[in-house]
C-alpha cells in the first residue's frame, strides 16, 4: 500500500425487498452472482478495499457495505443500521416501477430522518438492466434517475465534471456498471468528508434510538422489528443473530412482510431456542421473551 492513506467508510444499500441489493454486493465484493433469492432480515456487512485517487492524493478506501432488510415497517432495524453511514446506494428494480416510487415515499424520508436532514453521498442504481429489452424504457429510466440526482445529490455537478455519475443502470447478473457505481460513490464520499465526523455518527445513533424507543409496536411486523433489533444484544454477536433470524424464517416459512400472530409467537420460540443453544443466559432469554410477548398481549393476541 506504500504511502497511500487508509480511510474507512460505511455504505448502506437501501431499497425494497428483491430489488437486488444482496446480489449487487455479492457481485461487487466477490465478483459472483446467483439466481437464488434469499431475503435479508437484519443486516449483513461485507468489506472491500477500493483504491481511489482524489485531488492528487491516493487512498485505500476500506468500505463496510451494509445490506439492510428491505421490508417496509422495520423502522427500528433499518434506522439502527443506517446510523453513521457516509454513503447510500438507493436501489430500484427496473422491472418493478413501484420500487422507484418507494425511494421518495419511504427510503429517502427514512434516510433523512436518521441523518437529521443532512443526506450522505448518494448513488441511485437501477438494477436488473439485463431484463429490460426496450431502449425506450432504458432512456426513460435514465431520465428519471437524472431528475433524482438533481433533486438529492448536492455534489452532482462536480461529480459529473469529474466523470462520476450520481446514477447508473446496473446488472448484478452481468456485472454492468456495478464496479463503476461503487467507485463513483467512493469518490463522492472522499469529496464530501475524507474523515469520519464523530458528530455525524452520533446524530444517526440518537435518531435511531429515538425511533426504537417511541415505536408503540401496534402491528405484528413492528414486533418482528423489535426482535430483529434486540437479538444481537441477547446472543452478543451480530453475525450469529443474523444466522438465527434467517434460519428461523426459513424453518417456519412465513412472510416477514405480513406475519400472522401465530407466526410471530412461533418465531419468538424458535429464536429463543436457538439463542439458548448459542449460549445465551437463561435469565436474559426470559427477559426478552416477556419483552417481545408484551406488545402481542396488548393487541389481544
Overall average pLDDT of the 195-222 stretch? 85
Contact of 149 with 106, CB cutoff 8 Å: no
Please name every residue paired with 88 in a beta bridge, in sequence order, or none if there are none: 12, 122
SS3 285: helix
- Write out the H or E segment, with its range, that includes residue 251: helix 238-252
Assign 111 a pLDDT band (cuts: 50, 70, 90): very high
Please give the pLDDT value at position 157: 63
The C-alpha atoms of residue 147 and residue 183 are separated, in whole angstroms, by: 21
132: helix, strand or coil: coil
Please state the pTM of the whole predicted model: 0.90
Find out whether 63 and 186 touch, Cβ atoms under 8 Å: yes
Question: Which pLDDT value is given to residue 201?
Answer: 76
Domain boundaries, the chain: 5-198, 216-298
Give mean pLDDT, residues 68-77. Answer: 93
Q: What is the pLDDT of residues 210-268, one digit of tens each?
A: 999 999 999 999 999 999 999 999 999 878 898 999 999 999 999 898 899 999 999 99
Give the Cα separation of 80 and 209 in Å (integer).
7
Question: pLDDT band at 299, cuts 50/70/90?
Answer: confident
Q: What is the DSSP string of 134-178?
A: -HHHHHHHHHHHHHHHHHH-TTHHHHHHTT--SEEE--TTT-TTH
- Topology (CATH) of 5-198: Rossmann fold (3.40.50)
**Within its chain, how far is the Cα of 281 from the centroid?**
30
Q: Alpha-carbon distance 204 to 11, whole Å?
A: 14
Amino acid at each position: 500500500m506504500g504511502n497511500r492513506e487508509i480511510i474507512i467508510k460505511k455504505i448502506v444499500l437501501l431499497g425494497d425487498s428483491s430489488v437486488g441489493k444482496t446480489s449487487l454486493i455479492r457481485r461487487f465484493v466477490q465478483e459472483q452472482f446467483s439466481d437464488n433469492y434469499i431475503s435479508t432480515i437484519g443486516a449483513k456487512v461485507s468489506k472491500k478495499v477500493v483504491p481511489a485517487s482524489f485531488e492528487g492524493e491516493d487512498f485505500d478506501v476500506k468500505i463496510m457495505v451494509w445490506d439492510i432488510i428491505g421490508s417496509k415497517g422495520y423502522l427500528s432495524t433499518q434506522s439502527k443500521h443506517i446510523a453513521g453511514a457516509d454513503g447510500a446506494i438507493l436501489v430500484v428494480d427496473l422491472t418493478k416501477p413501484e420500487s422507484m416510487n418507494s425511494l421518495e415515499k419511504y427510503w429517502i424520508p427514512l434516510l433523512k430522518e436518521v441523518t437529521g436532514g443532512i443526506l450522505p453521498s448518494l448513488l441511485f442504481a437501477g438494477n436488473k438492466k439485463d431484463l429490460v429489452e426496450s431502449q425506450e424504457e432504458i432512456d426513460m429510466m435514465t431520465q428519471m434517475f437524472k431528475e433524482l440526482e438533481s433533486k438529492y445529490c448536492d455534489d452532482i455537478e462536480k461529480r459529473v465534471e469529474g466523470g462520476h455519475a450520481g446514477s447508473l443502470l446496473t446488472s448484478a447478473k452481468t456485472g454492468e456498471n456495478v464496479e463503476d457505481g461503487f467507485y463513483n460513490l467512493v469518490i463522492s464520499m472522499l469529496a464530501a468528508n475524507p474523515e469520519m465526523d464523530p458528530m455525524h455518527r452520533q446524530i444517526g445513533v440518537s435518531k435511531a434510538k429515538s425511533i426504537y424507543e417511541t415505536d408503540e409496536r401496534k402491528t405484528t411486523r413492528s414486533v418482528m422489528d423489535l426482535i430483529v433489533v434486540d437479538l444481537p444484544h441477547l446472543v452478543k454477536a451480530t453475525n450469529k443473530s443474523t444466522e438465527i433470524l434467517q434460519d428461523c424464517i426459513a424453518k417456519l416459512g412465513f412472510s416477514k412482510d405480513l406475519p400472522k400472530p401465530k407466526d410471530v409467537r412461533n418465531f419468538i420460540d424458535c429464536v429463543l431456542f436457538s439463542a439458548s443453544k448459542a449460549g445465551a443466559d437463561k435469565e436474559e432469554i426470559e427477559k426478552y421473551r416477556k419483552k417481545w410477548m408484551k406488545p402481542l398481549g396488548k393487541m389481544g393476541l
